[in-house]
């Protein structure tokens, strides 16, 4: 697939229209051959069907009756809603979402097997409908304890805290499952930055509260963050010492405060009381 992608990379979609945005694309995405000679594609922002011409989209919008992603609304707080879409029940939507997402994801292979995934689609809602801001996908069953496969914030919405919201949401689902989780590797540069930021803030808050008297295992139980991710995060903050063959947390209060100041605040918090969800069985 990789080689095939390289080979056909020459010509691909340069911009997409989605809702009220025109968005420049970042990477190749393997749309079906009949779309590969298009410079621009027009997406229905609700069902994510894509078309070659504006008139087709306009005709489609008159008869498309979706006003939000298909599937269940599992979270609502203010104007923010999260929908859970089962790739098996909404195959075409899942595939469309993957085609769209690949335009902004570099080193991810596209899964055609959307059956095996759940899609968590974040929307900003108003009187015209629920407009997709971003999403993450999650395997229904992961051997490697992945709690997130792909994550995307659409470019017009980036750097406003939605990415951190999606990451926090993925860990809230893991907590409800009673499991620890970790994102699928490799992470992109932006993905790593966002995860590092999330892990750092969550762990520093707890360390501060417990004055550093807490183990990696306890941190992991509280946050659903995998122990390895906790270790690398705390190591990068210089809060780990290696003693008698063991990694121990050494949270010097001054150093903690300095890191906390630098970490900043995430504006969009997940309000767990507004999450209505039971794990997939
Ligand atoms: N430059 C520098 N730092 C950045 C940037 C950037 N362009 N974007 C995000 N960050 C860092 C910052 O530390 C930021 O926190 P801050 O704003 O408090 O400083 C933090 O990441 C998170 O910012 P958010 O606004 O919460 O994240 P955003 O909504 O922009 O989404 C995401 C982040 C999902 C990674 C987005 O950049 C994206 O969709 N990128 C394209 C797709 C991608 O690479 N996905 C990850 C692939 S890996 C995987 O899927 C497992
Ligand atoms: Zn539609």
Burial 248-257 (b: 16+ CB within 10 A, else e): ebebeeeebe
Pocket test for ligand 1, best of 124, 156, 163 (most atoms within 8 A of CB): 163
Preceding peptide of 186 cis, ω within 30°: yes
40 in helix, strand or coil?
Answer: strand
Ligand 1, pocket residues at CB < 6 Å: 104-105, 148, 150-153, 158-164, 183-184, 187-188, 190-191, 193-194, 197, 264
Is the pLDDT score of 9 beyond 60?
no
Active-site residues, by number, are 184
Tell me whether strands 15-18 and 40-43 are parallel, antiparallel or unpaired.
Answer: parallel
Between CA 223 and CA 119 the distance in angstroms is: 22
Between CA 122 and CA 73 the distance in angstroms is: 10
Between CA 119 and CA 174 the distance in angstroms is: 15
C-alpha neighbours within 13 Å on the C-beta side of residue 81: 20
What mean pLDDT is reported for the chain?
A: 93
Q: Which residue in the block uniquely carries the two structure tokens 């229209």? A: 17
Between CA 126 and CA 9 the distance in angstroms is: 37
Proximal ligand: closest to the CA of 47: 2
Q: Which two tokens stand for residue 68?
A: 């939000």
Between CA 190 and CA 174 the distance in angstroms is: 22
Q: Which CATH class is domain 189-260?
A: mainly alpha
Q: What is the pLDDT of residue 1?
A: 44
112 alpha carbon – ligand 1 mean position (Å): 25
Pocket test for ligand 1, best of 159, 191, 236, 261 (most atoms within 8 A of CB): 159
155 alpha carbon – ligand 1 mean position (Å): 10
Say what the ipTM of the complex is: 0.97
Question: Atom 39 of ligand 1 has which residue's CA nearest to it?
Answer: 152
**Which helix (DSSP H) or strand (DSSP E) does residue 182 occupy?**
strand 182-183
Residues in a beta bridge with 25: none
Between CA 96 and CA 126 the distance in angstroms is: 23
Is the pLDDT score of 217 beyond 70?
yes
Could you write out the DSSP letters of every residue in 110-146? PPS-GGGEEEEEEEEEETTEEEEEEEEEEESS-TT-E
Question: Atom 46 of ligand 1 has which residue's CA nearest to it?
Answer: 191
Is the pLDDT score of 223 beyond 50?
yes
Question: What share of the chain in percent tops pLDDT 90?
Answer: 86
89-95 mean pLDDT? 97
- Rg of the chain over CA atoms, in angstroms? 20
């Amino acid at each position: 697939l990789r080689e095939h992608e390289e080979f056909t990379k020459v010509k691909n979609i340069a911009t997409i229209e989605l809702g009220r945005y025109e968005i420049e694309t970042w990477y190749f995405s393997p749309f079906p051959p009949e779309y590969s000679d298009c410079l621009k594609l027009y997406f229905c922002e609700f069902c994510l069907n894509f078309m070659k011409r504006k008139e087709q989209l306009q005709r489609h919008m008159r008869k498309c009756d979706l006003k939000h992603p298909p599937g269940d609304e599992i979270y609502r707080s203010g104007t923010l809603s999260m929908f859970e879409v089962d790739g098996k029940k909404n195959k075409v939507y899942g595939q469309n979402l993957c085609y769209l997402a690949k335009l902004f994801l570099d080193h991810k292979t596209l899964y055609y097997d959307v059956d095996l995934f759940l899609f968590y689609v974040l929307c900003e809602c108003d009187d015209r409908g629920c407009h997709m801001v971003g999403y993450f996908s999650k395997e229904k069953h992961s051997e490697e304890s992945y709690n997130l496969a792909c994550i995307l914030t659409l470019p017009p919405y980036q750097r406003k805290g939605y990415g951190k919201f999606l990451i926090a949401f993925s860990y809230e689902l893991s907590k409800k499952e009673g499991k620890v989780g970790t994102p699928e590797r490799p992470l992109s540069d932006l993905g790593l930055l966002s995860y590092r930021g999330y892990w750092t803030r969550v762990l520093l808050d707890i360390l501060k509260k417990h004055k550093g008297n807490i183990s990696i295992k306890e941190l992991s139980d509280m946050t659903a963050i995998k122990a390895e991710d906790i270790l690398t995060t705390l190591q990068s903050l210089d809060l780990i010492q290696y003693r008698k063959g063991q990694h121990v947390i050494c949270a010097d209060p001054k150093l903690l405060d300095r890191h906390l100041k630098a970490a900043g605040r995430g504006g969009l918090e997940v309000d767990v009381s507004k999450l209505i969800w039971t794990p997939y069985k």
